[in-house]
Chains A and B, each alone.
Chain A
Amino acid sequence: MKNAVLHPASSRFFADHGWLQSAQTFSFHGNYDPARIQFGALRVLNDDTVYGGKGFGRHPHDNMEIISIPLKGSLEHQDSMGNAAVINPGEIQVMSAGTGIYHTEFNKNQDQPVSFLQIWLYPDKLNVAPRYGQTDYSKGDRHNRFQQILSPDPNDQGVWIHQQAWFHLAEMDAGIEIEYALKKEGNGVYVFVIDGMVEVNGETLQQRDGYGFWPEGRTVIKALEKSNVLLIEVPEKW
């Protein structure tokens, strides 16, 4: 498929900071590959594990939409706007960093690691007022269908961000096929396999593989075994 990118899990950058194990799909911090900068507005997709009681100390951000999706364990958030919260699997957190925000993210528990996806998207507006949000999506139906967990619309399902992007999750049984209809024509789709094995456009994707493409027709994801999939729709330009 034209302009498709396949990112096998093993091709990611791996950073071991002792307290943090991070598998990074795109160039991040000291890891740099000019061929792995971004997929459209999707700039960071880090698969992080933080050991018990450890975490990211106070540090700043600006002009970036930062989304965290816990997969296992609990993440404790505090920020310079006075927000203090804990997020667990089944919840999604978003920060619009805008004109500047400081935050900490720590493993809430001393005795078990927290694993989460840290995803950054370029914003479609610069220097917006910083904002924090989180929502519980756990009660939604994502069994053999896509459940929306993020959009650009504050009144739509899930959290919202300053970008024409949508996130969906699906828990698929083996053999199931799900069609995804783009929310906005011209956008790209990045499929990230949280676990399991799926087939998209003839590509077989295994756990933690990523595959980005610019749909030219129907987008169908087929589960080759029981699978959890995150689908990220993003614009190429904004």
Chain B
Amino acid sequence: MSKINILVIADHPEILETIIRLINQNEEWNGIGAGSLEEAVASLELNKFDLVLLGVGVDAQTEERILNLCNVKHPAIPCHRHYGGGSGLLYSEIRYALAGG
């Protein structure tokens, strides 16, 4: 069974690494991190994602550009804010988003 691919965008390297590690603890999920808008755009061009999470440091302008890119190129991909920077809310956010919330 193919994994659910999740792109996480955040400009805090340690927190991004933590989130990716937590995502990858679930064997059905595959987390890929992007530390900047440019990395996120490159990842979205190259890979097929099931979910995009916007994490710490993603400002309104970057969020708008990511949302626009998703809408144009990958309209089916849900794009959600991730809050908390750790395990507390992450799993709920992913499950909620994947369920169409």
A29 to B59 alpha-carbon distance, docked (Å): 26
Residues of B within 8 A of A43 (CB): 83, 89
Interface set of B (CB-CB < 8 Å, partner A): 10, 12, 14-15, 18, 55-57, 59, 83-89, 91-92, 95-96, 99, 101
Query: B88 touching A97 by the CB < 8 A rule?
Result: no
Within 8 Å by CB of A99, from B56, B84, B92, lies B56
- Residue of B whose beta carbon sits closest to that of A30: B91
Which 4 A-B residue pairings sit nearest by Cβ, starting from the closest?
A: A62-B85, A62-B56, A27-B92, A100-B12
The answer to whether residues A61 and B84 also contact, given A34-B99, A34-B101, A100-B12 and a CB cut-off of 8 A, is yes
Give Cα A227–Cα B92 distance, bound, in whole angstroms.
Answer: 33
**Of B85, B91, B92, the contact of A63 (CB 8 Å cutoff):** B85
Are A120 and B92 closer than 8 Å at their CB atoms? no
Q: List the A side residues contacting B86 at CB < 8 Å.
A: 59-61
Chain B residues with CB under 8 Å of A32's CB are 91-92, 95-96
| Chain B residues within an 8 Å CB radius of A28 | 88-89, 92
A97 to B10, CA, bound (A): 14
Residues from chain A with Cβ under 8 Å of B84 in the complex: 61-64, 97, 120
Contacts A34-B96, A43-B89 aside, 18 further interface pairs with beta carbons under 8 A come to A28-B92, A30-B91, A32-B92, A34-B95, A34-B101, A60-B18, A60-B85, A60-B86, A61-B86, A62-B10, A62-B12, A62-B56, A62-B83, A64-B83, A97-B85, A102-B14, A120-B89, A126-B59
Closest-by-CB residue of A relative to B55 is A62
